[in-house]
Structure formats: C-alpha cells, structure tokens
Amino acid sequence: MTFHAFLIKYAEIAIKGKNRYLFEDALVRQIRLALEKVQEGFETVKEQGRIYVYCPAEYDEEEALEALKRVFGIVYICPVMIFEDCGAEQSALDIVAYMKAVHPDYAGTFKVYTRRAKKSYPVPSMEFSAKMGEAILEAFPNAKVDVHTPELTVSVEIRDRIYIYSTTISGSGGMPIGTNGKAMLLLSGGIDSPVAGYMIAKRGVMLEAVYFHAPPYTSDRAKQKVIDLAKLVARYSGRIRLHVINFTDIQLYIYEKCPHDELTIIMRRYMMRIAEEIAGKSKCLGLITGESLGQVASQTIQSLAVTNEVCTLPVFRPVIGFDKEEIVRLARKIGTFDTSILPYEDCCTIFVAKHPVTKPILSVIQKSERKLEEDIDRLVKEALSTAEVIEID
Ligand code: ATP
Ligand code: MG
C-alpha cells in the first residue's frame, strides 16, 4: 500500500507572527522545487496551519522521501493514508486496514488521537478516538491502550476526508532556503567548503559560489570536481550560480613579486577581495569559507585575522571549531565526501611554500602587497571580467 500524502511538520516556536507566513511560503516553494525533480503530480498545499504534500497515484516513495529529507525547514515527515468520509463505522474499518498495512501484528501499547479540522463533523473527537481504539483492539488482540505514554500514537485528522498517520521520519531541520538572504561560498575541491556551504544553507541562506581556477596548474578535472561538488550541495540548497575565476595570472604575479613564505596568505587575501567584489554585485550579504582553526598554516588565528582584514562583509566559517573528523562525518552524511577526496588538486603545489608563515603580521603583508601595485588592479579586473558563470541546478 502506498501513502497518499505526507504531512510536513516544522518547528513553529521560532516563527511567530508575521514571519510565519514567510517561513511557510518559502517552505512550500522549496518542497515544490524538490519534488518537481522526482516527478510530476505532487501537490503541496498549506491548509489550516498545516503543510500537506498530496502524492500522485503512482510514485517512488523512497525517492520522494529522500527529496523531502533534503528540504531545510522540515523537522518531521509523516506518511499519511487518506480515506473517504463515509461515517464513523466505515472509518473504524479503515483505521484497522491502515494498521494492518503499516503495523501488521501490532502488539504494543497505543492510543488514537483525533483532531477535528472539520468542525461540522458530527462525532466529538474523544468519542471518535474511543471508537477507533475499540476497533483496533478487536483486530489486534495483543495490543493495549495506554493514553498517557503509548508506544504508538495513531493520529486521525478529520477533514473532508479522513487522514490517518502514525509514523514520523526525521527531516533536515533548519530553515527554508530564501528566508535568510544570500551568501557567497568560496568553494574549492576540498572536504571543508562544501560542508560549510551546506551548513549556512541550512539556516535558510541561498548560495552563490566562486571557485578560483589556475589553469594549466590546476586541471579541467579539478574544475569539474568543483562543479560536481556544487551539484551535490545544490541538492540541499537549490540552484547555485557558480563563478569560475581564472586566478593563474594573479598567482603568478604574486609568486614573482612577493616572498614565497607569504604566498598563501596573500593569495587568500586576493581570493577574499575578489569574492567580495562578486558578492556585492550579486546582492550577497556574506561570504562563506571552509576554514577551520589551526587546520593548516593559513588557518591559524593570526592568518585568519590577516585574511579577514580585507573583507567588509561578514565571513561565515561554520566549521571553524570542528575537528577534521567531525567535518568528514558531515561530508559523508551529505554525500560530498567521495567527490571531495578525488585526487585532483584544487591549488597548485608550486604555489605552496615549504614553510609558510604561520603568524603573519598585517603590516608586513601589506608591505609585500605594495610590490604588486603596478599591475594587480588590472589583473583583478581582468579576472573578474573573464569569469565563467555556470548555473547549477
Ligand atoms: P577545503 O577542504 O574546503 O578545500 P582546505 O582545508 O583545503 O579547505 P584551504 O585550502 O586553506 O583549506 O582553504 C580554506 C578555504 O578557502 C576553503 O575552505 C575555501 O572556502 C577557500 N578556498 C581555498 N581554495 C579555494 C579555491 N581554489 N577556490 C575557492 N575557494 C577556495
Ligand atoms: Mg583546499
């Protein structure tokens, strides 16, 4: 037996008053987008303070659930069976049919909870629940009623038809995409930045992304890997506009002019400057990176401070306090790990010094950057104007 609908539950505490509409409307929109990709015919509606997804006559339940589980803002998904309203006697038969399909041979404790959304329904909720409970007891002799701490709650919603559900599947939580503006993700081919993008998207933030490519030092396959990672993140975040910046000339110029132990930090500052430039044009209100404190030389607290100094937008570093293990666990959970560990380098090793500075001093770095004055503005402008834009859906 397949389910006819899904009841979508979301955390309501956080969304009082006016925001509730914005939240619900965004959630409905994201559910529609997610299910469109599964197949046609799902119908998502907001009715009487509930969000229901009505399913087509035939559909792949597992795929539909997988899609719903990736929609931020959903706390629980309850698969529902819907029966025509032909009076309480018939409903008693229907609830037994439901139990036989969903919990065959049920032998635990249970209660029936009825919610009368249709106020004109002639039987009061309590009486209706009692009637349903009796029918279940008769059909399942080993089951027992426990109204206080039942192992199973069978919920009935009386609407124009009779809705029955009793199981809940956990959703992603978070907030629907689009309820919290947009931010620019610095997306490399590594493990950390896709996870960082996922985490900020989970707070309702739409993503745009930038990748710094350095051909021929970084290969086309490295670029394809970043595109693939963006696609994987987009399964949660929805469409991502990916800007691919050709960073080669800037890197070579820094390599030529600046002390090699400062290359990484100066490169990172230019990445942030360029990302912020694109962010401004795309109405992004923040930057996102996969930096984690102390992970590598460019991520010591001193390095982060010096990198951050070029930014005026807030920089979100959601994995800042995570150990690698914790980031890997999340990467596996969201399905980006296997792609992230493919061996194509996202940053050419010739540009990485053997002993990079780990405690850069801002004034020293600024002094080194002054050696770039002659040509760097032109190179940055050129990188921006030749950016390739890829729409990831
Ligand atoms: P990741 O696993 O995300 O690549 P990492 O541990 O390799 O991170 P770094 O290479 O120091 O760390 O990069 C730190 C952050 O800077 C990355 O998480 C990412 O947000 C950004 N970044 C680094 N290289 C690039 C790049 N080529 N294009 C876009 N962003 C980059
Ligand atoms: Mg990296």
Residue 304 domain boundaries = 182-392
Domain boundary pick from 136, 170, 204: 170
- 200 and 228, same domain (yes or no): yes
- 186 and 144, same domain (yes or no): no
pLDDT of residue 350: 65
- 160 and 189, same domain (yes or no): no
Q: Calculate how far, in angstroms, residue 324's C-alpha sits from the geometric centre of ligand 1.
A: 14
- 208 and 164, same domain (yes or no): no
Task: Tell me whether residue 44 is in a domain.
Answer: yes
Task: Tell me whether residue 85 is in a domain.
Answer: yes
Domain boundary pick from 123, 142, 170: 170
- 271 and 224, same domain (yes or no): yes
Ligand closest to 340 (CA) is: 1
Task: Tell me whether residue 37 is in a domain.
Answer: yes
pLDDT of residue 348: 57
Ligand closest to 194 (CA) is: 1
| CATH, residue 265 | 3.40.50.620
- 87 and 115, same domain (yes or no): yes
User: Atom of ligand 1 at shortest distance to CA of 289?
Assistant: 20
Q: Whose CA is nearest to atom 27 of ligand 1?
A: 212
- 137 and 187, same domain (yes or no): no
Q: Calculate how far, in angstroms, residue 186's C-alpha sits from the geometric centre of ligand 1.
A: 7
- What are the tens digits of pLDDT across the range 86-135? 999 999 999 999 999 999 999 999 999 999 989 899 999 999 999 999 99
pTM, two decimals, is: 0.92
Q: Calculate how far, in angstroms, residue 347's C-alpha sits from the geometric centre of ligand 1.
A: 9
Q: Calculate how far, in angstroms, residue 364's C-alpha sits from the geometric centre of ligand 2.
A: 25
- 134 and 240, same domain (yes or no): no
Any ligand 1 atom below 6 A from CB of 290: yes
Q: Whose CA is nearest to atom 16 of ligand 1?
A: 289
Any ligand 1 atom below 6 A from CB of 162: no
- 258 and 325, same domain (yes or no): yes
Domain boundary pick from 141, 170, 199: 170
| Count of structural domains within the chain | 2
- What are the tens digits of pLDDT across the range 17-44? 777 888 899 999 999 999 999 999 999 9
Q: Calculate how far, in angstroms, residue 33's C-alpha sits from the geometric centre of ligand 1.
A: 30
Looking at the chain, the whole-number percentage of residues with pLDDT higher than 90 is: 88
What's the per-residue H, E or C state across the chain?
Answer: CCCCEEEEECCCCCCCCCHHHHHHHHHHHHHHHHHHCCCCCCEEEEECCEEEEECCCCCCHHHHHHHHHCCCCCCEEEEEEEEECCCHHHHHHHHHHHHHHHCCCCCCEEEEEEEECCCCCCCCHHHHHHHHHHHHHHHCCCCEECCCCCCEEEEEEECCEEEEECCCEECCCCECCCCCCEEEEECCCCCHHHHHHHHHHCECCEEEEEEEECCCCCCHHHHHHHHHHHHHHHHHHCCEEEEEEECHHHHHHHHHHCCHHHHHHHHHHHHHHHHHHHHHHCCCCCEECCCCCCCCHHHCHHHHHHHHCCCCCCEECCCCCCCHHHHHHHHHHHCCHHHHCCCCCCCCHHHCCCCCCCCCCHHHHHHHHHHHCCCHHHHHHHHHHCCEEEEEC
